[in-house]
Amino acid sequence: MIASSFRDCQAWRAEGLTLSTSSNEACKMYDAILTQYVTWRNDETLGGIEGCISAVKTADPNFVMGHVISTGLELVGTGSSVRLNERLASAVKRTLELAQSQKDITPREKLHVRAVEHFSKGNFPKACDTWEEILLEHPTDLLALKFAHDGFFYLGAQTQMRDSVARVLPHWKPQMPLSSYLKGLYSFGLLETHFYDQAEKVAKEGLALTPDDAWCVHSVAHVHEMKAEVDEGLKFMESTENDWMGCDMLACHNYWHWALYFIEKGEYEAALNIFDSQVSRRGRTSGAMLDTVDACSLLYRLEMEGVCVKERWRELQQLTAPHTDDHVLLFNDLHFLMSAMGAKESGGAAHAQRLLEGLRELANNPDENQQHQLVGSVGLPMCQALVEYGQGNYSCAVELLKPIRYNMTQIGGSDAQRDVFSLLLIHAAMKSDEAHHHKLARSLLVEREAIKPNSPLTDRLIQRAQVLHT
């Protein structure tokens, strides 16, 4: 990227997206942050996102949208809680104060501030509604679109995530900055609503325009995974690796998908090699929540397959333990619990207990935080099922998960990410002492085979169930 290529005050005005600052440098650095966020790449020549955030605040300390994008990105990253992080809470407060004191900021900017406030309180539905309100009048506001996309993802609102992009696509022209990256956003929404062929088509259109679009690569990989096209998926990941592996914000997640193909095939050493060389290494460096939960999920899947990963849990627990009390996303909490239980002999048991106690307290004191409202009905039963399974109480795990299996989308994440909990129910039912749970396991495997025909993993589980239940 070249700093001079980013949009200044006049360019933003010409696009109908006026930014309330007189500093061209602030406008350009805002564009630089947005570009890196959308392309999933830290541009080290600009100091990465962090360097650009520092630069935008230096250029204009009172630039409202500079505060919106910097504070919003930290909130959307879900790696910190305003309940515990005073600096982040102060950043939200500062953003609100600036918006209130500057009477000449645009209505669009005021809505952005309102959305950040809603998100900071955990009211994801209101935040998404506000970003959608912006897009009705300003369909080319990419920050609103990307924030809404992430918000819907955390809500498990798959249809809304797809339609949010579909509504604005006709307003985007090929010459508009970053327009090709909408292909990746749209393909993911199509994927999550099971339009697999269309999702692959749109993603490949995006790759034809931007070969290093890691999100389009992700969508194609995800399609092959959901259709259990293992060999095709492996070939695709290998053929595109040179394009996306430098995409530091998403490379770890794409390697995670790559490892899932090997688990699907039963090639556990290959999956472990990817964990060690890519997922674990990159997660330690980035500290990003996406990378951390992927690491937890990958180890948990391997463990359910009978692979010993104990030493790796101890190392991973060092990353997850500081987030025990965050309670930003139930999805994150569940993965932190996996890590704590995996490292229970190395202090993880205490963290697991503290995490569960914190969730129980939130369930007893509901507020406007959408995630906290789900704790009692979905979060705690799923967490307790993990505990029961870890303690060998398989029938209890089944009875906890079975009634809520169709509500699990509410914790957010993708179909591929949530599949670990579907597998947990199957494994628990297979190992249960209850005969009717064995029938449930076989029924769930028939259901899985219908959704993902020719899946080697499903075939192995069917064979294992026959051996266990004969």
pLDDT in tens, 228-261: 999 999 999 999 999 988 889 999 999 999 999 9
**340 found inside a domain:** yes
* CA dist list (Å): 303 to 222, 297, 306, 313: 22, 10, 5, 10
**271 found inside a domain:** no
**419 found inside a domain:** yes
**16 found inside a domain:** yes
- pLDDT, mean of residues 210-226: 95
Find out whether 188 and 214 touch, Cβ atoms under 8 Å.
no
CA separation for the pair 388, 396 (Å, rounded): 6
Place of tokens 């025909």: 453
CA separation for the pair 437, 444 (Å, rounded): 10
Domain count along the chain: 2
CA separation for the pair 396, 399 (Å, rounded): 5
Output the pLDDT for position 327. Answer: 96
CA separation for the pair 57, 132 (Å, rounded): 27
Q: Is the pLDDT of residue 1 over 60?
A: no
CA separation for the pair 144, 111 (Å, rounded): 10
**93 found inside a domain:** yes
Find out whether 424 and 401 touch, Cβ atoms under 8 Å.
yes
103 CB-contact burial (10 Å; exposed 0-12 / middle 13-18 / buried 19+)? exposed
CA separation for the pair 59, 171 (Å, rounded): 31
Between helices 64-76 and 142-155, what is the axis angle to 10°? 20
Label residue 367 by pLDDT band (50, 70, 90): confident
**430 found inside a domain:** yes
- Tokens describing residue 192: 């999550």
pLDDT in tens, 323-348: 999 999 999 999 999 999 999 988 89
* CA dist list (Å): 246 to 31, 187, 218, 255, 468: 21, 21, 14, 12, 45
Range of the domain at 428: 333-470
Q: Given 155, 177, 199, which residue is the final one in a domain?
A: 177
Question: Which of the 8 DSSP states describes residue 22?
Answer: S
Count of CB atoms situated within 10 Å of the CB of 377 = 13
Output the pLDDT for position 346. Answer: 87
Q: Is the pLDDT of residue 366 over 90?
A: no
pLDDT in tens, 401-452: 999 999 999 999 999 999 999 999 999 999 999 999 999 999 999 999 999 9
Output the pLDDT for position 3. Answer: 58
Q: Provide the 3-class DSSP secondary structure of residue 343.
A: coil
Output the pLDDT for position 4. Answer: 63
From the list 120, 143, 155, the residue with the least C-alpha distance to 27 is: 143
Q: Where are the alpha helices (DSSP H) in 210-250?
A: 214-226, 230-244
Q: Is the pLDDT of residue 139 over 80?
A: yes
Find out whether 253 and 292 touch, Cβ atoms under 8 Å.
no
- Tokens describing residue 392: 């060998």
Output the pLDDT for position 435. Answer: 95
Question: Which of the 8 DSSP states describes residue 375?
Answer: I
- Tokens describing residue 453: 């025909």
**248 found inside a domain:** no
Find out whether 199 and 191 touch, Cβ atoms under 8 Å.
yes
Alpha carbons within 13 angstroms on the beta-carbon side of residue 459 total 9
- pLDDT, mean of residues 206-214: 95
In this structure, what CATH number is given to the domain that contains residue 352? Answer: 1.25.40
pLDDT in tens, 60-70: 999 999 999 99
Place of tokens 């979905």: 378
Place of tokens 């564009």: 31
Find out whether 181 and 7 touch, Cβ atoms under 8 Å.
no
- pLDDT, mean of residues 385-392: 98
From the list 94, 89, 154, 102, the residue with the least C-alpha distance to 128 is: 154
**39 found inside a domain:** yes
Q: Is the pLDDT of residue 5 over 90?
A: no
- pLDDT, mean of residues 99-113: 97
Q: What is the pTM of this model?
A: 0.97
192 CB-contact burial (10 Å; exposed 0-12 / middle 13-18 / buried 19+)? buried
CA separation for the pair 210, 77 (Å, rounded): 25
From the list 114, 144, 122, the residue with the least C-alpha distance to 16 is: 144
CA separation for the pair 42, 435 (Å, rounded): 53
- Mean pLDDT, all residues of the chain: 96
Find out whether 408 and 381 touch, Cβ atoms under 8 Å.
no
Q: Given 177, 199, 224, which residue is the final one in a domain?
A: 177
Q: Given 177, 202, 230, which residue is the final one in a domain?
A: 177
CA separation for the pair 327, 375 (Å, rounded): 10
CA separation for the pair 407, 423 (Å, rounded): 15
From the list 242, 257, 262, the residue with the least C-alpha distance to 297 is: 257
Question: Which of the 8 DSSP states describes residue 409?
Answer: G
From the list 366, 358, 374, 428, the residue with the least C-alpha distance to 398 is: 428
Q: Is the pLDDT of residue 110 over 90?
A: yes
Q: Is the pLDDT of residue 189 over 90?
A: yes
Percent over 90 (pLDDT), the chain? 95
